[in-house]
Amino acid sequence: MSCSNINIIVNSCLKLDPGLRQKILGNWNKDFLFGCPPTYGRSFHSSQKLVQAQKDTDTVLPSPQEVTVILRKNEFTKEFTSGSVKSYDSNQLASNDPIEDTRSEGLCKITSGLLMGVYDGHGGPACAQVISKRLLNYVAATLLPLNDLKKYITDESRENLLDTINDRVEIVEDLKIMYEKSFKEYLHELANEPRDSTDVKASLEQSIMKLDSDISREVLEPFKLSGTINPKTLSVALSGAVACVSHIDGPNLYVANVGDCNAVIGTITEENEWIAKKITKEHNSENFDELKRIWNEHPDSERKTVIRRDRLLGELAPLRSLGDYRYKWSLETLNSVAVPLVGQRAIPPNYHTPPYLTAMPDIFYHRLTSKDKFLIIASDGLWDTMTPLQAVKLVGEHMKGKVFFNPLKLPRKNIQLGDINELLLHRKESLKSKPKDRNAATHLIRHAIGGTEYGVDHSRLAHLLSLAPDVSRMFRDDMTVTVVYFDSEYLRQCPT
């Protein structure tokens, strides 16, 4: 969470008293601060309204080349030389300013396994940014066998548990010190409790719940000791984020999901047809089991208020998340900690029997086979625009077409000129399917923004990318996409 991100929203809170604005440091939902009922998660306007928005703007539209520069700004590719993962592509495209999505990836250094996470923030970027920096370390620590954990604790020169990849988020120094202290305390807790570190499911669950509780404790402990509130930790606790985290170790894939991000596996059949295996379930009002869970946790008298307008207490679209402590703390705590800085709207309507929200993840397991070709993890900004099968088919077509980014290699020595001619003619015909983008995550985002039933419409793509953030967020959400490619030969040789 950079100081610049905090200042951006501070400067925009013009309707607040300057003293209050300074206290809050702005990293909290602007609508909430301005006195408008907050709703997190959005309903998008229709194509007709997009046409009107296009007419209302005098902006010169970006050219196809400029569109490509925008789309590729945050793309990243990483290749691996061993294990079940060959490589992954990732990319992000902002709609909010600053973007509220984050992502993180890292290789476990003491144990084995690749950890990858996508986090979709709401109410500001603070919670999602903090989770992206901290969560994978909590998971890596929880996976440590007891002897390795104790050795790690006593090693004064200890390094990070993770070899992080493409880490772009910086935490301000005072929070970094606080987070390191919390992490050390968690290491000692782990060393003193009976547990099975080989139970990946339990480790993922424990890590997520522990980080969520630390986000609360880091606000409340200083308040209880000295009566002071750190506005930075408060902004993290009052904003929120959903999370989708995978642990891939050989053929074993675990996915922990909190909220409405999704993970989908692209599988090829014997008939060379693509199948989308959606291995996560969203925690939102479309999931009837979630609705029943929440109704059962509160009195019948709240049946009509606990879920209103398909949202928790009429405000929050995801029904599970990290942070969001204005739906978790007691009424007394909210009055003591949040109301003095934020005002009465810190307390949601019909707030009678908290907590209303949990960070408890659902954990899904899938044993990978050679038919499983890739995994897509993405925030709902992508899934709002396409189905899992559409996404899988797009990546499948991209896999076929991207080979033409590589130079032509002759299949054997002493090949005849006639055979070379046939090879070149075939390649020329196949080049028609060559995608615009080498990166599959960029390919998906391009189609998510500009896709039509006839292909990508540059005009639509250019218009949507040229809208100002306050208008853009009415038509599309932030998008974060990670595409993980599996090594089929490695998985073929794994014992069943």
Q: How far apart are CA 121 and CA 239, in angstroms?
A: 8
pTM of the model: 0.86
pLDDT digits (tens, 9 = 90+) for 347-394: 999 999 999 999 999 999 999 999 999 999 999 999 999 999 999 999
**Average confidence score pLDDT of the chain:** 88
What's the pLDDT band for 434 if we cut at 50, 70, 90?
Answer: confident
pLDDT digits (tens, 9 = 90+) for 477-495: 999 999 999 999 999 999 8
Which of 386 and 400 is assigned the larger pLDDT?
A: 386
pLDDT score of 25 more than 90: no
pLDDT score of 303 more than 60: yes
Per DSSP, what are the bridge partners of residue 117?
Answer: 104, 245
pLDDT score of 147 more than 80: yes
For residue 24, what are its two tokens? 């809050």
Q: How far apart are CA 260 and CA 258, in angstroms?
A: 7
Which residue's structure tokens are 């908290």? 354
pLDDT digits (tens, 9 = 90+) for 178-231: 999 999 999 999 999 988 989 999 999 999 999 999 999 999 999 999 999 999
Q: What is the mean pLDDT of residues 83-102?
A: 97
Cis check: omega of the bond before 98, within 30 degrees of 0: yes
pLDDT digits (tens, 9 = 90+) for 257-269: 999 999 999 999 9
Which residue's structure tokens are 């606790």? 237
pLDDT score of 19 more than 60: no
Which of 364, 395, 462 shows the shortest CA–CA distance to 70? 462
Q: What is the mean pLDDT of residues 16-28?
A: 36
pLDDT score of 429 more than 70: no
Residue 15 is predicted with a pLDDT of 33
Residue 473 is predicted with a pLDDT of 87
Residue 100 is predicted with a pLDDT of 97
* Helices (runs of H) and strands (runs of E) counted in the chain: 20, 17
What's the pLDDT band for 17 if we cut at 50, 70, 90?
Answer: very low
- The dihedral through the CA atoms of 398, 404, 406, 409 has a sign that is positive
Residue 415 is predicted with a pLDDT of 83
% of residues, the chain, pLDDT over 90: 76
Q: Which of 41-55, 132-146, 291-305 has the lowest mean pLDDT?
A: 41-55
Residue 416 is predicted with a pLDDT of 81
What's the pLDDT band for 37 if we cut at 50, 70, 90?
Answer: very low
Q: Exposed, middle or buried: residue 397 (CB in 10 Å: 0-12, 13-18, 19+)?
A: middle
CA atoms within 13 A on the CB side of 115: 30
